[in-house]
Amino acid sequence: MAADWGKPARVTPEQDEKRKRGLALFDFDGTLIPWDTQVIFADHVLRQEPVRRLYLTLFAAFGPFYRVLGDEGMKRVFLSYLWRAERGRIEEWAKEFVEKRLLPICHPAVIERLEQHQAAGHLTVLASASPDLYVTEVGRALGFDVALGTEVEFGQVMPLFPDLRNHKGEEKVRRLSEMLGVPGRSGWEGSHGYTDSTADLPMMMACRKGTVVNPSERLSRIAAEKGWEVIRPGTPWRGRFDKIRRILRFAAGI
């Protein structure tokens, strides 16, 4: 059972006891599951409320400005498919989404690693760049002690372009450092990081051990240099173009 589901500035005494036994930091998209969960969550919502597919026109209009807006700006535009959705409804979607869509497609080999850390009494942290709209629910379902995602700020209904702080790259390390303390020269004591992406290199460099999942050629080379473990649980797509085709279908709720 998860210990604390606020946004702790520091670990609780109970969590600190676990941390002394070990610390496991897991990325989510591409690591615990093969897909980018943002498009799968969009697919889940759009299938229930097809009229929300109209957001695609807006998203396409902002596409040419990606270099100006960056990842954080485009994530705000992408979330426009949730415009005027009530907080309670989003929470209902999140629970359905995690139970029906996400848990069945998690990589068994990576889930096994998570369970090994949990059985050893280590502090387990889910550190994802995906929106906390559903990352918190993922953490609960998988038994993480702490779940951190991109914080999306809104009131009772979602605005067209919600405020957010992209939980990616150095931002992950900043938030983890608020909770765990600044990592030492060789990283957080007893720490083990898991990722599939070079975007998580700041987090991985702050860990004593590392495991990369289905890594790219570049990440494979870095893993070899650092002595990180490599696991390849496979992917559900047949080549790059099949992956792109399926992502586009998810984004359109088709």
**Over the stretch 151-174, which tens digit does the pLDDT of each residue have?**
999 999 999 999 998 999 999 999
pLDDT at 11: 81
The structure tokens listed for 68 are 């100006």
| Three-state secondary-structure class, residue 124 | strand
In the predicted model, what is the mean pLDDT of residues 172-193?
A: 93
User: In degrees to the nearest 10, what's the CA dihedral of 9, 103, 32, 142?
Assistant: 40
The structure tokens listed for 88 are 């309670």
pTM reported for the whole predicted model: 0.92
Residue entry with tokens 């670990």: 11
Residue entry with tokens 């990440």: 219
pLDDT at 9: 58
In the predicted model, what is the mean pLDDT of residues 207-214?
A: 97
In the predicted model, what is the mean pLDDT of residues 96-107?
A: 95
Of the candidate ranges 4-13, 20-29, 60-69, 217-226, the one whose mean pLDDT is the lowest: 4-13
In tens, the pLDDT along 3-59 reads 443 455 578 889 999 999 999 999 999 999 999 999 999 999 999 999 999 999 999
Nearest to 82, CA basis, from 243, 253, 246: 253
How many residues are listed for the chain in this entry? 254
User: How high does pLDDT run on average in the chain?
Assistant: 93
Q: Which of these CATH numbers, 3.40.50.300, 3.30.460.10, 3.30.70.2660, 3.40.50.1000, describes 13-252?
A: 3.40.50.1000
In the predicted model, what is the mean pLDDT of residues 84-92?
A: 96
Whole-angstrom CA distances from 171 to 129, 196, 199 are 9, 17, 11
Has residue 1 got a pLDDT over 70?
Answer: no
pLDDT at 2: 39
Helices 55-62 and 66-78: crossing angle in degrees, nearest 10, is 160
Tell me which DSSP letter residue 12 carries.
Answer: -
In the predicted model, what is the mean pLDDT of residues 129-141?
A: 95
Contact 251, 56 (CB under 8 A): yes
